[in-house]
Amino acid sequence: MSIKAENIKYIYSEGTPFRTVALDDVNVEIKEGDFVGIIGHTGSGKSTFIQMLNGLELPTEGKIIVDGTVVGEDKKKLRAIRQMVGLVFQYPEYQLFEETVAKDVAFGPMNLNLPQAEIDKRVKESLELVGFNYDKIKDASPFDMSGGQKRRVAIAGVLAMKPNYLILDEPTAGLDPAGRNEIFAQIKKLHDKSGVTVVLVSHSMEDIAKIANRVIVLYKGKIHMQGTPKEIYSNAEELKKIGLGIPQIAEIANELRKKGFHIKSDVITVEEAKVEILKELRRRKNV
């Protein structure tokens, strides 16, 4: 069970002067249980790529295979694929439209023609998954809520489809640090507890370093690097060359190492750095 992208090529406005190759020769396999981070600049093809995973865009060349089904081959299967591959867009709060939170979250399951009892159950579950008290929130209007709350409602709207794969495009864009941490904590919990495969598109190296177990770096429509966060971030020079950075803490660790401190080269989170620095300080004290 996996999402496979085989030799994907995507060309915009073919046959006009505006022709652009958005993706070129992209090969990726997202296995069940993965937590994949995708990083890249604006225009690197990230958004196009994730929209292909649930059939919103079809590749010009190549195939996307979701659990053995080729996306787009049979239009009738598109809805089933969109149920399996849940896609949360950037600023998802702008898609809210119903009078109450519960009704809005129910929109997805309703399109799946589920029985009412199942819909209600799913609405309750997904609202609780994103940290709401169902009874308190269900009759509120989504338009009276704060930005962060709206976003959680929108994410719940996708979760209510019970996707096996959850794809999030910059889920924390425009949120304050508290809101950001909350969203990330919930995504992490979702991945760990319900076993949902997560694909996360983000600008933030810190966030990706903290929670992803695999990182894909897209650059000008091509896969530039692929590997574990440690593998990717130990290649700081390469990342800087294409205008991306490494987590701040990795940067600090690198600088300390240059100054002669004995610190491991693959430090990418604050927690790891703390352990390493304390270890080094103790060693120095004992010398």
Partner 1 sequence: MFKNLTIGQHYPVDSPVHELDPRVKIIMTFIFIISLFVIDSFFPYLFVIAFLGIAITTSKVPVKFVLKGLRPILMIIAFTFIINLLMTPGRIIFELGFIKITEEGLKQAGFMAIRLTLLIMGTSLLTLTTSPIILTDGIESLLNPYKRFGLPAHELAMMMTIALRFIPTLMEETEKIMKAQKSRGADFESGNIINRAKNLVPLLVPLFISAFRRADELAMAMEARCYRGGENRTRMRQLKINSRDYVASLIFVVYLAAIIITKIW
Do the Cβ atoms of 174 and 147 come closer than 8 Å? yes
Query: CA 236, CA 250: separation in Å to the nearest integer?
Result: 9
Tokens representing residue 50 in the block: 């994730």
- Provide the H-helix boundaries in 112-176: 116-129, 134-137, 147-159
Helices (H), 160-261: 177-194, 205-211, 229-233, 236-241, 248-258
Distance CA 277, CA 254 (A): 12
What letter represents residue 211's amino acid? I
**By C-beta, is 11 or 225 nearer to partner 1?**
11
Which residue lies nearer to partner 1 by CB, 132 or 165? 165
Residues in contact with partner 1 by CB under 8 A are 12-13, 18, 51, 54, 56, 79, 82-83, 86-87, 89, 92, 94-97, 107-108, 111-112, 143, 157-158, 161
Q: How far is the CB of 95 from partner 1 (least distance, A)?
A: 4
Q: Which regions of 60-155 does DSSP assign to beta strands (E)?
A: 61-66, 69-70, 85-88
Non-local (6+) Cβ contacts of 204 within 8 A are: 172
Residues whose CB is less than 8 angstroms from the CB of residue 167 and which lie 6 or more positions away in sequence, other chains included: 50, 53, 54, 85, 86, 87, 88, 198, 199, 200, 201
Q: In degrees rounded to 5, what are phi and psi of residue 21?
A: -90, 110
Q: Which residue type is seen at 124?
A: K
Q: How far is the CB of 7 from partner 1 (least distance, A)?
A: 23
With CA atoms as reference, report the closest residue to 72 among 149, 162, 10: 10
